């Protein structure tokens, strides 16, 4: 369930009026996919009944196929220059290594070349090696802004239905991180579900859980403990055949422990935190695991910071309460500071909205706007590079005029 769609003013519009939405490179989210029910009744896309596993997403039947026999496989893990792939019913099958084209980019039906990510469905061709020939359309993707000089985005996982935002109750949950990961999740096209772990370690799990629920509008919040076997039943209920769940959250939150509990087997290694309290990453790779019942789980390493990709709808979904208030302010360009008739300030003064919620919204909104500008700058640079190439090519074709000096 996405938040209400409100024509709102971005907080950052004031300082930078000309922000164009950045086109997402890795994903074209299907709005219908935000509703889990919409994804669980997908059309079969192949005449081969073995391939009708709904977890595979929907390929357009008219899409051009690479020549020769090719088999759809699911990416279980990404390596350097290759991916590990598993067939549709993955349990018990050893993943096979399939090499990527030079540069790692694979043609997709959307016209762009993509770096295959965990959860992708790819067509592989068997000749000398197993080769990845094509990435089938993603029905959802968890996309983050990749750090670094280039303003590329990175798809962390594809074709997911549920994003488990995993956060520990001990130490106390970090609300800003939950908001950030929820925004990432809303932007993916999948349904976010918050999981608060280590309920056995705190006396007041329910009270803390209510505080988290207040910043997780539209998402279910579950309080769990794996060792004490608390709260796992509603999560197990999510494991429908063909459904893919991905666990995201900080290192040590208990993502792998949760994945193992849901899988009913020791599929991922788990680890203690170091005594000095600094996070040691136990899981180092994103990995897809197929369960006997037909559901899929993706475990991810704890990420220190996930850069947001500009996505106004996702931010609006996460901050639906603030957005709704902002829409009632007297002035369209209200900064929610000292202006008369500010509904946001009024709500904060009345104790109906936490001041940190406004701060948090501003921070993430600014970050998304910054990311959009970087995206624009990158597009402009690509355009310049394309143009230079045209000029270079034409220089060879047009003979210089000997009379001109």
List residues binding ligand GTP (CB under 6 A): 197-198, 200-201, 225-227, 251-257, 270-272, 281-283, 301-302
Binding pattern for the stretch 282-301 against Mg ion, x by CB under 5 A and - elsewhere: xx------------------
Stretch binding Mg ion (CB under 5 A), from 59-67, 147-155, 182-190, 281-289: 281-289
Name which of 11 and 245 has its Cβ closer to Mg ion.
245
Binder of residue 46, out of Mg ion, ligand GTP, Zn ion, none (CB less than 5 to 8 A by kind): none
- Taking the complex as a whole, how short is the minimal distance between the CB of residue 211 and Zn ion, in angstroms? 24
Burial class (CB in 10 A: 0-12, 13-18, 19+), 276: exposed
CA distance 153 to 319: 23
- Taking the complex as a whole, how short is the minimal distance between the CB of residue 79 and ligand GTP, in angstroms? 18
Residues 6+ apart with CB under 8 A from 124: 70, 71, 72, 73, 85, 98, 130, 131, 132, 133
- Taking the complex as a whole, how short is the minimal distance between the CB of residue 117 and ligand GTP, in angstroms? 18
Name which of 21 and 271 has its Cβ closer to ligand GTP.
271
Write a three-state SS string for 235-256. Answer: HHCCCCCCCEEEEECCCCCCHH
- Taking the complex as a whole, how short is the minimal distance between the CB of residue 179 and Zn ion, in angstroms? 20
Residue 70's beta-bridge partner residues?
A: 125
Binder of residue 360, out of Mg ion, Zn ion, ligand GTP, none (CB less than 5 to 8 A by kind): none
Binder of residue 104, out of Zn ion, Mg ion, ligand GTP, none (CB less than 5 to 8 A by kind): none
Walk across the sheet containing 191-197 and list its strands: 220-223, 191-197, 162-168, 244-248, 296-299, 287-290
CA distance 369 to 13: 9
Q: Does 139 participate in binding Zn ion (rule CB under 5 A)?
A: no
- Taking the complex as a whole, how short is the minimal distance between the CB of residue 335 and Zn ion, in angstroms? 7
Name which of 71 and 256 has its Cβ closer to Mg ion.
256
- Taking the complex as a whole, how short is the minimal distance between the CB of residue 374 and Mg ion, in angstroms? 30
- Taking the complex as a whole, how short is the minimal distance between the CB of residue 164 and ligand GTP, in angstroms? 11
Q: How far is CA 259 from CA 248, 288, 298, 299, 374, in A?
A: 11, 10, 8, 7, 35
Residues 6+ apart with CB under 8 A from 130: 85, 96, 97, 98, 99, 124
CA distance 261 to 20: 44
Name which of 140 and 282 has its Cβ closer to ligand GTP.
282
Binder of residue 272, out of Zn ion, Mg ion, ligand GTP, none (CB less than 5 to 8 A by kind): ligand GTP
Structure-token pair, residue 87: 């067939």
- Taking the complex as a whole, how short is the minimal distance between the CB of residue 48 and ligand GTP, in angstroms? 36
Q: How many helices (H) and strands (E) does the chain have?
A: 9, 15
The footprint of Zn ion on residues 320-349 (CB under 5 A) is 329, 334, 336, 342, 344
The footprint of Mg ion on residues 204-263 (CB under 5 A) is 255-256
Name which of 222 and 336 has its Cβ closer to Zn ion.
336
Structure-token pair, residue 82: 């290759």
CA distance 245 to 135: 20
Stretch binding Mg ion (CB under 5 A), from 13-21, 148-156, 277-285, 310-318: 277-285
Structure-token pair, residue 307: 């850069």
Binder of residue 315, out of Mg ion, ligand GTP, Zn ion, none (CB less than 5 to 8 A by kind): none
Q: How far is CA 207 from CA 128, 202, 203, 212, 214, in A?
A: 59, 10, 9, 9, 11
Binder of residue 254, out of ligand GTP, Mg ion, Zn ion, none (CB less than 5 to 8 A by kind): ligand GTP
Interacting residues toward Zn ion by CB under 5 A: 329, 334, 336, 342, 344
- Report the interface residues with Mg ion, using CB under 5 A: 255-256, 282-283
């Amino acid at each position: 369930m996405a938040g209400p769609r409100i024509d709102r003013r971005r907080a950052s519009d004031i300082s930078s009026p000309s922000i164009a939405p950045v086109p997402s490179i890795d994903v074209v989210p299907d709005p219908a996919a935000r509703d889990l029910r919409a994804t669980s009744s997908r059309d079969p896309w192949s005449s081969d009944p073995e391939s009708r596993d709904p977890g595979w997403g929907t390929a357009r039947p008219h899409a051009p196929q690479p020549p020769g026999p090719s088999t759809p496989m699911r990416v279980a893990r990404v390596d350097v220059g290759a991916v590990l792939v598993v067939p549709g019913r993955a349990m018990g099958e050893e993943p096979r290594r399939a090499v990527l084209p030079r540069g790692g980019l694979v043609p997709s039906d959307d016209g762009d070349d993509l770096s295959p990510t965990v959860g992708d469905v790819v067509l592989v061709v068997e000749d000398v090696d197993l080769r990845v020939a094509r990435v089938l359309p993603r029905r959802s993707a968890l996309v983050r802004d990749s750090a670094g000089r280039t303003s590329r985005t990175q798809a962390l996982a594809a074709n997911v239905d549920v994003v488990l935002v995993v956060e520990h109750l001990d130490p106390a949950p970090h609300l800003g991180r939950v908001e950030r990961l929820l925004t990432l999740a809303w932007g993916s096209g999948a349904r976010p579900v918050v999981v608060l772990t280590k309920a056995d370690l705190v006396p007041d799990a329910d009270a803390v859980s209510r505080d988290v629920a207040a910043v997780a509008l539209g998402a279910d919040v579950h309080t769990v403990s794996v060792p004490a076997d608390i709260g796992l039943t509603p999560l197990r209920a999510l494991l429908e055949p063909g459904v893919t769940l991905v666990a995201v959250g900080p290192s040590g939150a208990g993502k792998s422990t949760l994945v193992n509990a849901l899988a009913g087997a020791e599929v991922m290694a788990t680890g203690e935190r170091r005594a000095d309290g600094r996070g040691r990453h136990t899981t180092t790779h994103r990995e897809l695991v197929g369960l006997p019942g037909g559901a899929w789980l993706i475990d991810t390493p704890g990420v220190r910071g996930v850069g947001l990709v500009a996505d106004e709808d996702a931010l609006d979904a996460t901050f639906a309460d603030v957005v709704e208030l902002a829409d009632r302010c007297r002035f369209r360009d209200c900064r929610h500071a000292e202006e008369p008739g500010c509904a946001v300030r009024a709500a904060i003064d009345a104790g109906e909205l936490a001041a940190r919620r406004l701060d948090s919204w501003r921070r993430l909104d600014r970050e998304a706007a910054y990311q959009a500008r970087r995206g624009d700058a990158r597009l402009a640079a690509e355009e310049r590079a394309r143009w230079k190439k045209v000029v270079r090519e034409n220089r060879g074709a047009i003979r210089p005029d000997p009379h001109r000096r």
